[in-house]
């Protein structure tokens, strides 16, 4: 103990007047926080093992449990905070890189929360979505420069392959391996029901899920796990993952402990071997190499699937996106620095990359300045938390958003940020069979459908309020947005006016 | 006070138009009478007319109508015109002093044709060359503003009630086969003549009633294709969209209407396969050119006029017919005042274009 001892951040508070020692908490906790003392017929707990996932709190039949923030404190210091000191102790002890999961929790500005949406009054009628049609249908894909006509003068369909979505939302990439079979099944079934797409992530596609192909994006990442011709042709789009908002510039590592059974088979690697995705694609060291991979994948899929190139939002994102737009990509996906992950080095997650709002505004403007915004579609992700975030993102210039953390929350995730431990009590980020079965896909998919149905209603209400009845008229419509509490430079980058300024 | 172009000013409005399909030219008297009936739909802060077939003697030349703030600017602009065009004729546009119209700029008219050497070295087609020159004057020569640039047509507009604007420009002395008119009800004081409507580019002229909610989406999209929105008005961006789709992309006017007032996806789903494919294609290909929010527009072009409502029909518009003449107006009264005995009268559905061409013509 001594200098190695770190007082837990959170404490399990048990109300012994309510506790009936039913041991439900003990059975539910994969971290073995709770223990039953037979002699005294009493439940006790070890706070140090608690990850604050709320599984026991949610399932305690007598509401005897809650988790509270510890008030144990070092001497207060604005510079050397308790968190900083603890992390330093941990590294001095282990010599290792700090690991974290899910999105950047630090106190950076959330620009979506400093943007407000317009509504019609008098000069222009608002539209009631309950009485009038309200369209949220979106198509993603490249667009040709000119129309073509046949000898009869009729317009010929010269569009490259397009993806059709009932609303401007898709489930972002989460690999089978990083999340469970049941989580994948929930996402796939929800995507099918909703008329949108989910994304396999880089772990290949379990053979049971090929039937959801019409609602699937298959991903090709630097590790190329599970990539083969049948896989590439199983979905409606192929995504090349260059980077991820939670960990720009580095690769991935799925520990061997998770590479078991079907996951090993799906990834096409031996059981128990670590799945390491290199930082770069070793066949892409430059933009011209990207073009080669884009067209290799198009060749492999007979030019029938749009190719998405996904990058993390970094400082030069606008110029990079412009390069991608000219490299044969049909769709560009940009992931902001608040995007989630199953595991990332803490320092990278918390200090590398830029907010998605600024990246989106910069990319959309750059592509427009170059006259090529119309040629590609733009998908953004990296902490879309509500329908309001989506309306703001579309008005800033996105065609569509990716959501992942929100989807996991709908499945029961309580954002304890401990995915890398592999012991997710909610059955999401784990491969332990007893834990996986806690997530019932019949219920999970319905919760996802509920969430997005609700969001779609809210998007329609906000659109109607602005007098807009089709989502494409919102796309890039920045006059519908105003900033609050933003400085001139931030407003300039976002391309919006400050609240209080008229048209 | 910011001038139009430095600030975006939405407006409500009245519109009226008439066309004689056999090309018979009539005086501008009637259109003034028609728009004056809808006096209460304007507030005296803008009115104007577009007239087609009025310059038969110069029908092969571009008629440039220009506002100047000063003689100095006029000189600068004329030097620019001389460098790019052969100027066949120039004159002040005749006006009548009336107390309702004040603060007029210098208003001049030039009949021009591009200098062949300039045109050849620009590698542009003639109409694109003229468009580029119009944009250059309007953005680079401060204090001069080309507000009409078509052949055998002209726009006449000012700050005031439309009937006064008509009298100011002596519109009754012009004869044309098609007229459109506009009375403006801006929610702000523009105080500048360039901001009045119609808005025109080449032979396209647009009068518009409404406030489009897709404005910034449309503006930012069209500015990618070398258009510069200097006035920040709905009418300006609608004109550019029509020019882009019709002239540059080669869509027919019916197809243009299917883009800017696209049928709902539900409607498209129930169409016959061939029709469905075309509409799906147009919506996917030109999604950024969908115009949303309330509008009724009259688009004048080389051989006719198109009337169109937004797809929910959030603005009134009726069409009347008598023999060879078709009338279109925000209110039926504006038609009845000039033609009480109509053969028929109807209100087109939202998104359903009414395209009237000169006999033998094609949209």
pLDDT tens for each residue of A304-359? 999 999 999 999 999 999 999 999 999 999 999 999 999 999 999 999 999 999 99
B352 inside domain = yes
pLDDT digits (tens, 9 = 90+) for B19-33: 999 999 999 999 999
Under DSSP, is residue A69 helix (H, G, I), strand (E, B) or coil?
Answer: strand
Q: What average pLDDT does the segment A350-369 reach?
A: 98
CATH of domain A138-476: 3.20.20.70
The model's confidence at residue B211, banded by pLDDT at 50, 70 and 90, is: confident
Q: Could you tell me which of A426, A472, A420 has the C-alpha nearest to residue A177?
A: A420
B345 inside domain = yes
CA nearest to B279 within chain A:
A155
Under DSSP, is residue B14 helix (H, G, I), strand (E, B) or coil?
Answer: strand
Report whether pLDDT(B2) > 80.
no
CA nearest to B224 within chain A:
A371
- What does pTM read for this prediction? 0.94
Q: Could you tell me which of A10, A57, A54 has the C-alpha nearest to residue A424?
A: A54
Q: What was the pLDDT predicted at B1?
A: 62
B213/A124 CB distance under 8 A: yes
Q: Could you tell me which of B130, B40, B115, B129 has the C-alpha nearest to residue B84?
A: B115
pLDDT digits (tens, 9 = 90+) for B108-129: 999 999 999 999 999 999 999 9
Kindly list the residues from chain A whose CB atom is less than 8 angstroms away from the CB atom of residue B287.
139, 472, 475
Report whether pLDDT(B325) > 70.
yes
Q: What was the pLDDT predicted at B8?
A: 72
Q: How many structural domains are present in chain B? A: 1
Ramachandran category for residue A37: left, alpha or beta (phi over 0 → left; psi -120 to 50 → alpha): beta
What is the pLDDT of chain A when averaged over all its residues? 95
pLDDT digits (tens, 9 = 90+) for B7-21: 777 667 899 999 999
B36 inside domain = yes
Kindly list the residues from chain A whose CB atom is less than 8 angstroms away from the CB atom of residue B6.
none
Best to test chain A binding among B217, B245, B313 (most A CBs inside 10 Å):
B217
**Which chain B residues have any C-beta within 8 angstroms of a chain A C-beta?**
7-10, 12, 187, 210-211, 213-218, 220-221, 223-225, 232, 249-251, 255, 262, 264-266, 274, 277-278, 281-282, 284-285, 287-288, 290-294, 311-312, 314
For domain A2-96, the CATH class is alpha beta
The model's confidence at residue A2, banded by pLDDT at 50, 70 and 90, is: confident
Domain that holds residue B40: 11-54+152-357
pLDDT digits (tens, 9 = 90+) for B257-311: 999 999 999 999 999 999 999 999 999 999 999 999 999 999 999 999 999 999 9
The model's confidence at residue B176, banded by pLDDT at 50, 70 and 90, is: very high
Report whether pLDDT(B188) > 80.
no
Q: What was the pLDDT predicted at A5?
A: 85
d(CA A174, CA A201): 5
B169 inside domain = yes
Report whether pLDDT(B137) > 80.
yes
- Count of CB atoms situated within 10 Å of the CB of A489: 8
Here the tokens at position A162 are 């397009």
A137/B265 CB distance under 8 A: yes
Is B13 one of the catalytic residues?
A: yes
The model's confidence at residue B190, banded by pLDDT at 50, 70 and 90, is: low
Q: What average pLDDT does the segment A375-381 reach?
A: 97
Q: What was the pLDDT predicted at B191?
A: 62
B19 inside domain = yes
- Count of CB atoms situated within 10 Å of the CB of A457: 15
* Closest partner CB to A157 (pick from B214, B277, B291): B277
* Prediction ipTM score: 0.91
d(CA B301, CA B309): 17
CA nearest to B265 within chain A:
A135
CATH of the domain at B243: 3.60.20.10
Q: What average pLDDT does the segment A1-28 reach?
A: 91
- Count of CB atoms situated within 10 Å of the CB of A86: 14
Q: What average pLDDT does the segment B221-238 reach?
A: 91
Domain extent listing, chain A: 2-96, 138-476
d(CA A1, CA A8): 13
Here the tokens at position B1 are 């006070």
Report whether pLDDT(A71) > 80.
yes
């Amino acid at each position: 103990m001594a200098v190695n001892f770190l007082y837990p951040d959170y404490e399990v508070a048990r109300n012994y007047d309510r506790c009936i020692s039913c041991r439900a908490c003990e059975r539910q906790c994969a971290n073995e926080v709770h223990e039953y003392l037979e002699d005294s017929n009493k439940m006790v707990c070890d706070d140090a093992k608690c990850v604050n996932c709320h599984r026991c709190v949610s399932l305690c039949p007598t509401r005897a449990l809650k988790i509270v923030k510890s008030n144990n404190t070092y001497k207060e210091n604005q510079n050397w905070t308790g968190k900083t000191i603890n992390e330093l102790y941990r590294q001095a002890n282990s010599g290792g890189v700090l690991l974290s999961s899910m999105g950047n929790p630090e106190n950076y500005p959330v620009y979506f929360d400093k943007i407000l949406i317009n509504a019609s009054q008098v000069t222009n009628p608002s539209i009631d979505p309950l009485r009038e049609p309200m369209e949220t249908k979106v198509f993603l894909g490249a667009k040709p420069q000119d129309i073509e006509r046949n000898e009869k003068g009729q317009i010929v369909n010269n569009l490259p392959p397009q993806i059709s979505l009932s609303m401007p939302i898709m489930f972002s990439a989460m690999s089978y391996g990083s999340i469970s079979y049941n989580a994948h099944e929930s996402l796939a079934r929800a995507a099918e029901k909703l008329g949108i797409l989910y994304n396999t992530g880089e772990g290949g596609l379990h053979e049971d899920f090929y039937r959801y192909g019409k609602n699937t994006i298959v991903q090709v990442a630097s590790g190329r796990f599970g990539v083969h011709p049948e896989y590439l042709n199983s979905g409606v789009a192929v995504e090349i993952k260059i980077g991820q908002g939670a960990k720009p510039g580095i690769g991935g590592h799925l520990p061997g402990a998770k590479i078991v059974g079907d996951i090993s088979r799906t990834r096409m690697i031996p059981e128990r071997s670590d799945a390491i995705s290199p930082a770069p694609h070793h066949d892409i060291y430059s933009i011209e190499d990207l073009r080669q991979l884009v067209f290799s994948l198009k060749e492999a899929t007979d030019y029938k699937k749009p190719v998405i190139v996904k990058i993390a939002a970094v400082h030069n994102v606008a110029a990079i996106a412009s390069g991608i737009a000219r490299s044969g990509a049909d769709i560009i996906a940009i992931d902001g620095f608040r995007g989630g992950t199953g595991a990332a080095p803490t320092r990278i997650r918390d200090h590398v990359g830029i907010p998605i709002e600024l990246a989106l505004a910069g990319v959309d403007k750059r592509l427009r300045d170059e006259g090529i915004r119309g040629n590609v579609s733009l998908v953004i992700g990296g902490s879309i938390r509500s329908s309001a975030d989506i309306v703001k993102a579309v008005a800033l210039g996105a065609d569509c958003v990716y959501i992942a953390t929100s989807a996991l929350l709908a499945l029961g995730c309580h954002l304890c940020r401990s995915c890398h431990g592999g012991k997710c009590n909610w059955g999401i980020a784990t491969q332990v069979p007893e834990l996986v079965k806690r997530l019932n896909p019949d219920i999970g998919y319905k919760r996802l459908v509920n969430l997005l149905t609700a969001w779609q209603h809210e998007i329609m209400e906000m659109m109607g309020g602005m007098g807009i009845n089709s989502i494409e008229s919102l796309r890039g419509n920045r006059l519908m947005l105003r900033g609050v509490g933003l400085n001139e430079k931030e407003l300039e980058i976002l391309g919006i006016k400050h609240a209080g300024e008229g048209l | 006070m910011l001038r139009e172009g430095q600030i975006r000013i939405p407006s409500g409005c009245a519109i009226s138009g008439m066309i004689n399909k056999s090309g018979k030219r009539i005086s501008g008297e009637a259109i003034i009478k028609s728009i004056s009936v809808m006096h209460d739909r304007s507030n005296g802060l803008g009115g104007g007319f577009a007239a087609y077939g009025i310059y038969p003697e110069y029908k092969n030349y571009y008629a440039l109508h220009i506002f100047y703030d000063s003689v100095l600017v006029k000189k600068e602009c004329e030097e620019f015109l001389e460098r790019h065009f052969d100027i066949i004729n120039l004159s002040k546009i005749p006006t009548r002093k009336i107390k309702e119209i004040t603060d007029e700029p210098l208003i001049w008219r030039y009949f021009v044709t591009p200098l062949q050497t300039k045109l050849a070295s620009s590698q542009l087609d003639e109409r694109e060359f003229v468009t580029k020159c119009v944009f250059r004057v309007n953005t680079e020569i401060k204090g001069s503003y080309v507000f009409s640039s078509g052949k055998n047509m002209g726009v006449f507009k000012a700050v005031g009630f439309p009937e006064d604007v008509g009298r100011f420009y002596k519109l009754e002395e012009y004869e044309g086969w098609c007229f459109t008119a506009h009375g403006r009800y801006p929610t702000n004081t523009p105080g500048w003549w360039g901001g009045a409507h119609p808005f025109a580019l080449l032979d396209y002229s647009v009068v518009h009633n409404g406030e489009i909610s897709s404005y910034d989406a449309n503006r930012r999209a069209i500015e990618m294709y070398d258009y510069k929105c200097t006035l920040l008005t709905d009418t300006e961006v609608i004109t550019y969209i029509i020019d882009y789709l019709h002239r540059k992309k080669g869509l027919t006017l019916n197809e243009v209407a299917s883009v800017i007032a696209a049928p709902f996806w539900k409607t498209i789903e129930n169409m016959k396969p061939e029709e469905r494919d075309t509409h799906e294609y147009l919506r996917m290909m030109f999604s950024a050119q969908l115009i949303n929010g309330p509008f009724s527009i009259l688009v004048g072009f080389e051989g006719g006029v198109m009337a169109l409502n937004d797809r929910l029909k959030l603005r009134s518009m009726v069409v009347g017919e008598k023999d060879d003449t078709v009338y279109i107006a925000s209110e039926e009264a504006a038609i009845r005042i000039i033609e009480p005995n109509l053969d028929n009268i109807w209100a087109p559905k939202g998104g359903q274009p009414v395209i009237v061409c000169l006999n033998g013509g094609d949209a």
